[in-house]
Amino acid sequence: MSSKLSAADAGPATGWVASLSPWPEEFGLGRIRALLARLGNPERRYPSIHVVGTNGKSTATRTIAALLRAEGRRPGAYTSPHVSGWAERIWVDGAEASFERAVARVKPEAVAVGATQFEALTAAALTEFAECEIDVAVVEAGLGGRLDATNVVDASIVLLTNVSLDHTEVLGDTPEQIACEKLAVAHAARVVVLPDNRYADLARKLSPKGAEITTGGAREAAEAWLGRSTDREVTAALPGRLERRGRELWDGAHNPAGTAWLRGQVTGPFDVVVASILSDHYEERMLVDLAALAPRLIATQSGNPRALPADVLADRARPHFASVQVEPDPYRALDRARESTEGTILLTGSLYLLADLFRQPPTQ
């Protein structure tokens, strides 16, 4: 995430975690295990459900937590990244926890072990859950699974939302390799929920002998933990995930699978798309999908250093759109879209773009 802080984010502990590097020099579980040991291994004080996959993890995580809460349980939910602010990441019993308190609690030990940003955040969430005496933690993996900091929980239920090519430089070049990295979190699972049977054999190999391999989604994962079915209907809206804001639709579709899903979910056409795409997520078919939803594009650039320069994105987009404009500043790009049409606007391509726009009102 961008290190910019809103007024709501202000605080010494939050400022400290925002300043940390989100990427380790080397992936591994050594630091997070050392950190949690210094904190008394809070992750062992409650059962866990682990959510892995390429897209849709945050929505699935919150949906599972909402279903369990509707059944009278007290769940915690840990998601990433955030759009509205850092506190969005840690929920307890249906509400944001005190993010400043949660981070401040782990800061001294995190500094001592040289924790990365995501490791500190994970420790903060897991410790907050223990302090709040939750019944179950629903934990979203950050990147992959096997070497992700969240793989310190011995989850009894694992949900794989889907698999597509993403972060190939870390996770592998094929869907099977990526699925293997993600399903490695099933080392203690008694139930593994898959989107279909494509990776059933892999799930059996990576989970304990006798684990149940089934298909479904968030509801099935919640029911597996409950040990029975539920007919509860819940909503788990998150900022920037198919979020309607007046005549605007904000969605963080950030890879080809995400834009393809978005294209299948919404009816168009929109008048204009405002988009930023990370360079390591970009594929031409993302622009093909977005061009099917709107004739015009305003190419912009989120504050993430991995974002494609706006002019590069515009050059790549011109063969697909009737009109392409360049506005590197996200706020001015949204202003330009609002001023150029009274119709509908789609903001997409990156959750980092939406987070930037959420923090600061558009320039007038």
Using 50, 70 and 90 to split pLDDT, how confident is the model at 84?
A: very high
Determine, yes or no, domain membership for 232. no
Say if CB 117 and CB 17 are below 8 A apart.
yes
Domain identity same for 288 and 187: no
Determine, yes or no, domain membership for 302. yes
Domain identity same for 59 and 154: yes
Say if CB 297 and CB 328 are below 8 A apart.
no
Domain identity same for 148 and 199: yes
pLDDT 10s digits, 172-223: 568 899 999 999 999 999 999 999 999 999 999 999 999 999 999 999 999 9
Domain identity same for 209 and 312: no
Domain identity same for 183 and 127: yes
- Residue 77 belongs to what H/E stretch? strand 75-78
Determine, yes or no, domain membership for 234. no
What is the pTM assigned to this prediction?
0.91
Predicted local distance difference test score (pLDDT) of residue 27 = 85
Say if CB 127 and CB 42 are below 8 A apart.
yes
Domain identity same for 247 and 217: no
pLDDT above 80 for 21: yes
Domain identity same for 44 and 99: yes
Determine, yes or no, domain membership for 287. yes
Q: Which of 4-18, 191-205, 270-284, 293-307 is predicted least confidently?
A: 4-18
Domain identity same for 275 and 205: no
Determine, yes or no, domain membership for 364. no
Domain count, the chain: 2
Determine, yes or no, domain membership for 92. yes
Output the domain CATH number for residue 69: 3.40.1190.10
Range of the structural domain that residue 27 is part of: 7-226
Domain identity same for 124 and 14: yes
Determine, yes or no, domain membership for 235. no
- Cα 289 from Cα 306, distance rounded (Å): 21
Domain identity same for 322 and 353: yes
Domain identity same for 121 and 175: yes
Domain identity same for 83 and 173: yes
CB atoms within 10 A of CB 125: 30
